[in-house]
């Protein structure tokens, strides 16, 4: 069995922060598909808050939705939504600013 260590570290840090009430942004909507996912939709990794709110941890396209720096982790290749869209359109930028999400690269 192969474990994606950066993803595991991110999920552990994110769920710990949310469970302890740490001041981190709470993304309720998936930035990729713009949906408010249900806990069991099978496309998103979510966290159920004590008040019943569903928070998106990883979106349907594999992007992390809580800034790793807010969780005490390295930023990795965290990019703004705008930069991700520009990348998809073929626009190149050598130094994207820190922002809204990070792509979870398999085997990283």
Please tell me the predicted confidence (pLDDT) of residue 16.
Answer: 92
* Residue spans per domain, the chain: 5-103
The alpha carbon of residue 106 and the mean position of all alpha carbons in its chain are separated, in whole angstroms, by: 14
CA distance linking residue 104 with residue 63, whole number of Å: 6
User: What pLDDT shows up at residue 12?
Assistant: 92
From first to last of the 108 residues of the chain, give the pLDDT tens digit: 687 788 888 899 999 999 888 888 888 898 889 999 988 888 999 998 888 888 999 888 888 888 888 888 876 555 555 655 666 566 554 444 444 444 544 444
pLDDT of amino acid 105: 44
Q: Give dist(CA 83, CA 43) in Å, integer.
A: 23
E strands within 1-108? Answer: 45-48, 54-58, 63-64, 78-79, 101-103
Token code pair at residue 80: 């703004």
Q: Report the distance separating Cα 26 and Cα 74, nearest Å.
A: 19
pLDDT of residue 39: 82
């Amino acid at each position: 069995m192969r474990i994606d260590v950066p993803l595991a570290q991110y999920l552990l840090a994110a769920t710990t922060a949310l469970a302890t009430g740490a001041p981190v942004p709470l993304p309720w909507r998936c930035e990729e598909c713009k949906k408010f996912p249900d806990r069991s939709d099978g496309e998103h990794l979510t966290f159920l808050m004590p008040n019943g709110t569903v928070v998106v941890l990883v979106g349907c396209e594999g992007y992390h939705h809580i800034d790793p720096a807010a969780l005490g982790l390295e930023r990795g290749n965290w990019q703004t939504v705008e930069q991700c869209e520009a990348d998809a359109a073929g626009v190149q930028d050598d130094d994207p600013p820190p922002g809204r999400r990070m792509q979870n690269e398999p085997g990283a």
